[in-house]
Structure 1
Amino acid sequence: MLKILIVDDEVLERTALTKIINNPSEDVIVIGEAPNGRLAIEMAEEHRPDIIFMDIKMPGVDGVQAVKAIRKIDSGIRFIMVSAFNTFEYAKEVMQQGVKEYILKPSRKKDILAAVERVSGEIREERKLREEQQSLRENLDRAVSIAQKEWVSSVLVNQVQDITFDEWGQLLGVEITSGYIMLFSLRPRGITDLSAGEKNNWYLWLKDTLNSVVITQEMIVGPLTDSQVPVLFLYKKATEKVHFKTSAQTVIDHLNRLFDQKGFAAELRIGVGLPYNHAQELNKSYHEALMALQYLVKTPNRRYLFAVKQGAIELPTISGVLEIEKKLLEAVRQGDVNQVLFIFESFATMLADEPKIKGSLVKKSFDELFILVSRMLHDLGISYERTPAVEDSEDIIAIFEKGKAHLLAVVHHVQVWRNNHAKGMLHKAKEFIENHYADSITLELVAEYVELSPFYFSKLFKDRFGMTFIDYLTEIRITHAKAEMVDPGKSLKEICYSIGYKDPNYFSRVFKKHTGLSPTEFRKATVD
């Protein structure tokens, strides 16, 4: 409902305008009348009308002065000027204020209603455009948030290959020269584990708090897995790397103080990896942060720990291990037993070949690997809580055997899931797409519907059906568009909106790319 204010020094004129406007339309309503410009300014500030009928010639503050003053209060208010004087100077003055509508007294009913309709139409179009732009901004923010989480997930499993800090910098709009991982962990104070709600509340708090305390660095918060959250910090300037520990310490101190004030029934632990100059090396920083976090378990009085070069806390920096871990994770994800056995042997051999290898160091490497496996299973939506019971005192061969047995059990579980659960979920996803193709459907929405992470849903969907989610959605929409074009009573714009597109021009481009013909050409060829 659009609100209208009537401003005129003649009471009969105000009454007549109110009666004409209020009677025929349910979309507009007169919310007040003012006899002069001064009162009009006060009422405009109080009621914020959408449209003001403004008489030009009034005693005291005239219509032109009132328009100028009201514009400063709310530039979105539209004016329809009313005057008995048909002079160029009056028209020129109000046009300079952006006023487009000007009607003469005595005003005819149809002229008044036509002016209201024109201005109302402009207001509705502007509101619709703002809503669409807001929706686009929200969708873009959501997409960027998802993409950023996937960046962090890619770092964790060492899938960052083709993107550089320069390219990340272009996407973020800043110059990125180095980065590191900070890993946050929430641990219960007692023996009772934290509930999913408590973990999620902490995750939301962590994101909001980091956004408020991190100023000099770019930051991307990764997904919550179990009770851990990886956060990628990116430096904007090369010189800042020199102050890495100082800036990281500032973030940690702020966070710990705010965490204590919040009163969570849990303990916060933070592991910090080293900074690296190349995006492909960030996985090392994650491993260092993870091992620093694991070391904190043995030192209950410490709340955070910075990784160091190999030595002080026995953080493993074994050459080549990261690449093998990446291949091993992919083989587990595919449920490929032979590949898992082959790659695991390489992994075990590489560890065993290290000089002065210790059982405790092998156990740490295996713990790290199993955490990565657990994270991957979680992202896939696979429930598998068992972990191998490996003791520090066991010899290397026993540790290897237990590790192999655990991986084989995981692979078997993945095989069952892929053959049954995943297959059913992907077909469920296809049905959802087919039933909701006309809605504002997104990859994240469908992934959430089938309870998979967007990253793995996208991968599984393409593996299973040989095409991406967006390609399948487009194919469904274009198929329905072709069917509807048979009906000559439907306009192309109607068809565009009915299949889920909001922009007819974009629909036309997609249709031509998919079929080789524009919608008009296709319809003509079909009808002929």
Structure 2
Amino acid sequence: MTLLKILIVDDEVLERRALTKIIANISDDLTVIGEGAPNGRIAIEMAKEHEPDIIFMDIKMPGIDGVQAVKEIKKFNRDVRFIMVSAFNTFEYAKEVMQQGVKEYILKPSRKQDICESLERVLAEISLDRKQREEQHSLKESLNRAVSIAQKEWVSSLITNQVHDMSFDEWSQLLGVEITSGYIMLFYLEPEPAADFSQMEKHNWYSWLKESLKTITSKQEVLPGPMTETQVPVLFLCKKTAGKFHFKTDAQAIIDNLSTLFRKEPFKGELKVSIGLPYQHANELNQSYHDAILALKQLLLIPNRRVLFCDKQGSTDMPSLSAMLEIEKQLLEAVRQGDVNQVLFIYDSFINKMRENGDLQGSIVKKSFDELFVLLSRMLHDLGISYQQTPVIEDSEEIQQMFEKGKTHLLKIVSHVQVWRMNHAKGMLHKAKEFIETHFADSLTLEQVAEYVELSPFYFSKLFKDRFGMTFIDYLTEIRIKKAKDEMVDQGKSLKEICFSVGYKDPNYFSRVFKKHTGLSPTEFRKAIVS
């Protein structure tokens, strides 16, 4: 235990000295503050200044007595513990301080044994209280980390159009406030000429962005997604209770406040923001992400422009950009499948579309490739594939040389994905199955298994179902029911014991799951195998 401060309050100097001497011999973890306090008024002042952990408080003192002093000190320090000391064995005194939460009461002249026993009880109470606070703090930190991970996974799933089962009603229940619409902003830190961000600088910028958005948004819930290079998608959920929602006005206010904060930071780049359109249904948020992507593509082509809202009606470049985006999506899917022939075919379409659009300036081609490989990097990250190489393409190079470099790098990525699909993913899934079969009786979650095999929960879930034809929870249930059926042969085990031994905490729920999978209740099944 850390050093605890004790204040002794008594109008008799000899009593204060005697208590100080006794406490000094009890433990090195205890220290008495100064010479103590001779009355309630000074006790209050010393308690404010020194913030003691324990106060020995005499009840009968001139001026402000002990009971009044306790009440005043409790107003600004709810955690301090009191040990009341009195020459009068009067219940009324004890009753008044008990109402303030004081539990310890000793008579004076105090015996050393009484003082030690009383202190031991208070120290045990302080120790327990601090342990509980540490556990609560640790739990809160773990919960915050889990929520942050879950938010990033959900936003990542959303922007890849893999989420169909989360409605605004469910978000409203989760957040405790009605959600009416949502939209995506893309935050992009464009490096200064000749600047190159280190991983630490990228991490610092990402952390700054998340913390800053928390401080400047009140009308909306903010869910930052994963960072790829220096690009971060952020989902904004608009709350009904915040009053009337003005999309562009509210979004612009967020950007203005963020830009003001950004200018105070030493980041070696320029903050650029594109904003997708708002949508009233959760399953449409993927479109808002694509709106923001399209707007960012335009934004990067406009010198000295930092913010761009997507406006389908007013943007003449939307059709061609939309077609390019569709080709990029097809290309990413072909890479994910490791299909070389399809990748080469779609890559040719990608190049031809650039030619059709007349985007054959070196700087434009370079930006197109940079954006494509950012998307590929994000996809590889979501798959759990470690691949750090990036092509070095300069805008001063010949256009055809850029195209060849892009193709060469793309084929390297496809080759890497093929190897991973054949070896790593297969091995990780079998490793996951073994882990499930070993730990099926624990409170096992998909996130725990995904972490064990070092895959993202989203991709592990998808890969597991693709590989084994069933979801993680279906497989876990299958294992548990099989183990339960095996254990039912032993008539010495109760059904309740079997329920707990295979990982279920509620016998009624276990019974429902068992009947759903076998057609019989546990009791009916046991009778059937016995007869």
Tell me the residue number matched to 1:15: 17
Q: Does 1:383 align with 2:388?
A: yes
- Alignment pair present for 1:79 and 2:82: yes
Deviation at 1:266, TM superposition (A): 1.6
Provide the C-alpha distance between the structure 2 equivalents of 1:65 and 1:360, rounded to a whole number of angstroms. Answer: 84
Note the 1:412-451 alignment, pairs <5 A.
412-419=415-422
Residues 295, 310 of structure 2: 8 Å contact kept: yes
2:202 to 196, 199, 203: 199
3-state DSSP class of the match of 2:178?
Answer: coil
CA change 1:325–1:163 in 2 (3 A) is farther
**Contact (CA 8 Å) 1:210, 1:255: kept in 2 or not?**
yes
**Is the 8 Å Cα contact of residues 158 and 323 (structure 1) preserved in structure 2?**
no
The alignment status of 1:155 with 2:158, answered yes or no, reads yes
Task: Give the equivalent residue in structure 2 for 1:290.
Answer: 293
Please give the residue correspondences for 1:331-480 in structure 2 after superposition, counting only pairs within 5 Å: 332-333=335-336, 335-337=337-339, 341=342, 358=356, 371-379=374-382, 380=384, 381-386=386-391, 409-419=412-422, 455-456=458-459
Preserved contact between residue 373 and residue 390 of structure 2 (Cα < 8 Å): no
The residue that corresponds to 1:495 in the other structure is none
Match of 2:37 among 34, 37, 41: 34
Tell me, yes or no, if structure 1 residue 111 matches structure 2 residue 111: no
Matched to 1:259, the amino acid is F
- Find the residue that maps to 2:33 and give its secondary structure: strand
Give the equivalent residue in structure 2 for 1:128: 131
Higher mean displacement: 157-166 or 190-199: 190-199
Task: Tell me which of 134, 155, 171 is aligned to 1:168.
Answer: 171
Q: Given residue 23 of structure 1, which amino acid in structure 2 is its aligned partner?
A: N
1:184 to 170, 184, 187: 187
- CA displacement 1:356-392 (0-9 Å, x = unmatched): x95569x9999976653331113433224249999xx
Q: Is 1:219 aligned with 2:208?
A: no
Contact map agreement 2:167 2:281 (CA 8 A) in 1: yes
Aligned counterparts of 1:69 and 1:239: Cα–Cα separation in 2: 39
8 Å contact kept, 2:71–2:100: yes
Quote the offset at 1:169 in angstroms.
2.0
- How far has the Cα of 1:228 moved from its partner? 0.7
Q: How does 1:300-315 map to 2 (within 5 A)?
A: 300-309=303-312, 312-315=315-318
Q: Give the secondary structure class of the aligned counterpart of 1:177.
A: strand
TM-superposition CA deviations, 1:375-428 (whole Å, max 9, x none):
1113433224249999xxx9xxxx999999876653321122345666788999
Identical pairs, percent: 63
Deviation at 1:36, TM superposition (A): 2.2
Secondary structure of the structure 1 residue equivalent to 2:417: helix
**Aligned 8 A contact 2:169 2:178 in 1:** yes
Q: Indicate how the Cα distance of structure 1 residues 150 and 516 shifts in structure 2: closer, same or farther if over 3 A, else same.
A: closer
Alignment pair present for 1:514 and 2:471: no
Deviates further, 417-426 or 210-219:
417-426
The Cα shift of 1:28 comes to: 2.8
Give me the whole-angstrom Cα distance separating, in 1, the residues matched to 2:67 and 2:505.
57
Which residue is equivalent to 1:97?
100
Compared with structure 1, are the counterparts of its residues 259 and 92 closer, same or farther at alpha carbon in structure 2 (3 Å cutoff)? closer
Contact 1:4 / 1:53 at 8 angstroms: preserved in 2?
A: yes
In structure 2, the CA distance between the partners of 1:443 and 1:20, relative to structure 1 (3 Å rule), is farther
**1:514 aligned counterpart, secondary structure:** coil
Superposition TM-score, scaled by structure 2 size: 0.72
Q: Is the 8 A contact 1:176 1:236 kept in 2?
A: yes
**Deviation (angstroms), 1:243:** 2.2
The residue type equivalent to 2:131 in the other structure is K
CA distance in 1, matches of 2:45, 2:394: 76
- 1:450 CA displacement: 8.9
SS of the residue corresponding to residue 34 of structure 1 reads: coil
**RMSD (Å), alpha carbons:** 4.9
Question: Secondary structure of the residue that 1:115 maps to in structure 2?
Answer: helix
Structure 1 residue 105, shift from structure 2 partner: 2.0
**1:34-63 C-alpha deviation (Å, 9 max, x unpaired):** 222222222222221111111112223222
**Structure 1 CA distance, aligned partners of 2:505 and 2:75?**
53
Q: Structure 2: where are the runs of 5+ without partners?
A: 360-364, 437-443, 480-496, 508-531
CA distance in 1, matches of 2:471, 2:267: 45
1:417/1:308 Cα in 2 relative to 1: closer, same or farther (>3 Å)?
Answer: same
Q: Is the 8 A contact 2:178 2:241 kept in 1?
A: no
Structure 2: distance between partners of 1:194 and 1:456: 28
- What is the alpha-carbon distance in structure 2 between the residues aligned to residue 127 and residue 37 of structure 1? 28
Secondary structure of 1:414's aligned partner: helix
- Residue of structure 2 in register with 1:498 after alignment: none
Query: Deviation of residue 322 (structure 1)?
Result: 9.0
Q: Is the Cα contact below 8 Å between 1:178 and 1:241 reproduced in 2?
A: no
Opposite residue 134 of structure 2, the aligned amino acid is E
2:155 and 2:224 in contact (8 A); partners too: yes
Q: Is the 8 A contact 2:338 2:415 kept in 1?
A: no
1:169 is matched by which residue type in structure 2? Answer: S
Whether the 8 Å CA contact 2:177–2:240 is kept in 1: the answer is: no
Alignment of 1:251-330 (within 5 A): 251-262=254-265, 264-309=267-312, 312-316=315-319, 329=332
